[in-house]
Structure 1
Amino acid sequence: MKWSKLPKLTPDEPTPPRDPAASMSLINDVIRHPLDPSYEAAAAKKRAAGLAPTSGTRSPLLILVMVLIGFGLAVSALTLRTPLGEAKKQHDELVSRINKGQTLIDQRSRSVTGLNTEIAGLQESALSRGNRQDTTDELHVAEAVAGAVAVHGPGFVLSVNDAKDAGTDAQGDPRTSGSDTGRVTSADLQMVVNGLWEAGAEAIAINGQRVTSLTAIRFAGEAILVNYRPLVPPYDISIIGPSGLHAAFDKNAGGNYLSTISKGVGVRSSWRTSQNVQLPEAPSVSLNYARPAKEKSQ
């Protein structure tokens, strides 16, 4: 019996180590070939035909356009933006001009007051030399009625104020034209002042502003204007007049009107008596009409 020759047994050969990057073959392929095969084939076809890649000819133009756009945006931003230093400088200049203007107004106001005092002294002196006491008395009465001089005497102070729940606008401001419920208006003050004159008032001022026959009581924006000066509530109406003025006012149209708005919309009012009500002179009094005084026959 013949035995076939068996293959020689040898120890197992070591298995070569596995490539750790084998699992990253897809990522490596994407890195090495970033272009889609179709795009790469089209680019190769263009290169074979002698055509330069599109991006190569347009990139300088694209960069130039982008630089121009960036420059334009920068110039626009610098043009629209006001430097903080320049704005502060303009603000300081404006404040300085306002302060100088106010100082000039104060100086000229003092000068006007001094000249008026001098004129009044000369008038008194001229009238006293002519022994015209009756003319002097008439002049004093006319000045007081016209509001040309400050006056003082017994009287009353009527305070008129908005209702506690006065209407407000969307921002909660009760002084705008969009919310007049419960607010004192210029028409209200006009009715009250006319009623006070009717009741026997000799002189009236509202929050320190003398009221004369030429005084305008108006509503403008967010405030009531008296003599073109804005006032805010409460409105203190100072009155010089007889002791029965309060009772007479309650019975006339002005008093009835004040009572109606107090009950209807909640406008608040109060009276107090004073033995020395002081009223300033009117801001400006213009002489429109005059007549010569007749000399008495000797």
Structure 2
Amino acid sequence: MNLSYIPSPTVSQVTLGPVVIHFYALCILVGIVLAVWIGSTRWKRWGGTFDQFLDITLWAVPAGIVGARLYHVITTPERFFGPNGDWVEMFRIWHGGLGIWGSIALGALAAWAWCRHCGYPTALLMDALAPGLLVAQAVGRLGNWFNQELYGAPTTLPWGLKLNTAGTAIGQGEQCYDGDTCPVGTLFQPTFLYEMIWNLIGAALIVWISRMAATRLKAGSSFVLYVLWYTAGRTWIEMLRIDFAHEFFGVRINVWVSIAVFVAAAIVFIVLQRRGAATALLSEKLRTLTEAEGQREGADTDVAGSHPQA
């Protein structure tokens, strides 16, 4: 008998009249707000403005959500297509199913395109985003707790996750021991908690490293460190999970992706230190662009406020 465990929530949504508010979606929104706050603070420190960062966010966030969903649809097509699939489920993201790889890829592409359009240093933007992304992902994992999904293998550890079988746990149908049904009262590895802690530690480390080695690391290094930290943690955490996932040579696809991205990021980090631009140099460029924007806006205001003489 387990005397200590992590309980699962009894509710995952609230209804206010005709509106249903899912806690999963709320966690994602709170994570986005925190990421914008942290990122804009770092961006302003390098000479940018909140409005600049907000404009980038308005492009990157929707693209990131679409990319996250597309990655999930592509990697688990049987849930949406085929004899047992429901294509409408693609649009119900509150039921779970967002792939971080798709989010980063499409979100980063949108952010790069906007920075390219405005002339902002993309490497500085990536560095500004790095710790906030980890915080956002940590908060987002709470949504998995509310949905009772994506937990790990059975465990007897005192911090094991206990499902609330009276609720509507998305993950209750997951397999236990090679397809056998889990005994009542089985506890599971709280992989959402492991990833939350891992991400928060990573965010703190990136902030600390970027301050201690500000003059030695090239612009873009903080973002690459984020990728290295996240993929290292995702590799071992993913191996604990028991939710359905496609495998290659007996290993979950996301594990292979994590390893591949980790190796690629390590190579990029080495090349970046040799050929990348200094943060101070790009910061000066951003300050110059910000001043030029301010002068243009001031000129536009003067023109709009002027009136022809009668």
Q: Same fold (TM over 0.5)?
A: no
Structure with more of its chain in helix, by fraction: 2
Structure with more of its chain in strand, by fraction: 1
Question: Could you say which structure has the larger radius of gyration?
Answer: 1
TM (norm. structure 1) is 0.22
TM (norm. structure 2) is 0.22
